[in-house]
Amino acid sequence: MPNKVRQMLLMDDHVCPWWLCFTFDNPLRRLIHNPEKMLRDWIAPGQTVIDVGCGMGYFTLPMARLVGATGHVIAVDLQAQMLDRLQRRAERAGLQARIQPHRCQPNTLALSEPADFILTFWMVHEVPNQAAFLQEVRNLLKPTAPYLLVEPKLHVAAADFRKTVETAQAVGLRPIAQPKVGLSRAVLVEPAM
Ligand SMILES: C[S@@+](CC[C@H](N)C(=O)[O-])C[C@H]1O[C@@H](n2cnc3c(N)ncnc32)[C@H](O)[C@@H]1O
């Protein structure tokens, strides 16, 4: 395939192209992934939470409802097309005031605001340097703030997920639960003291 066409289809070998998001970001997905049910134990009104690799906002919008009018969600993605669609959805839902879209760089999140909760849903396998990425996530968490890391079973074998969890532990993140998430491997971690 010529390079230019390849670049149009895939930003690089790892990153999910924006148009492919339509295949899994749709109303039927709620049958498998119910965001409110999945996240309500870890997100409370007034909090600052981060959805890293937010895509078109499947989780961002429910997170904005959970933090309420006094909280906010930082929605981070590499791709402008994802953030554009997220913003349109947020406007339609009347939630734009609670959502701060943030376009990051491939090698850094470029964020400094401490978070009460962080989500990475089906994105860490797209990150080439997981140790550096997880260290950045670790640095953004408040002392007892949870981070939910969810990976797709289809793309991430059990052994690879174990390596990711080991990498998380190596940068100072302690596993505290293994929530059940449809079609996924998941771990909840928090900063180790
Ligand atoms: C498979 S999609 C998942 C989107 C969303 N979390 C969901 O579950 O619907 C992965 C997303 O992660 C983003 N992504 C990949 N690498 C990233 C990075 N290093 N920093 C931020 N976002 C990244 C991609 O652009 C894409 O929007």
Which mutation among 15, 135, 155 tests ligand 1's pocket best, with the greatest number of atoms within 8 A of CB?
15
Q: Specify the number of domains making up the chain.
A: 1
Which atom of ligand 1 is least distant from the CA of 33? 8
Q: Residue 15: which pLDDT band, with cuts at 50, 70 and 90?
A: confident
For the record, the structure tokens of 172 come out as 């100072």
Cα 55 to ligand 1 centroid, rounded to whole Å: 5
User: How many angstroms separate the Cα of 153 from the Cα of each of 58, 62, 146, 184?
Assistant: 19, 23, 22, 5
Alpha-carbon distance of 191 to 165, in angstroms, equals: 13
CATH number of the domain that residue 83 is part of: 3.40.50.150
pLDDT given for residue 167 in this prediction: 98
pLDDT tens figures, 63-92? 999 999 999 999 999 999 999 999 999 999
The percent of residues above 90 in pLDDT, for the chain, comes to: 85
Cα 159 to ligand 1 centroid, rounded to whole Å: 21
Domain around 54: 3-191
pTM of this structure:
0.93
For the record, the structure tokens of 33 come out as 């992934």
Q: Bridge partners of 184?
A: 152
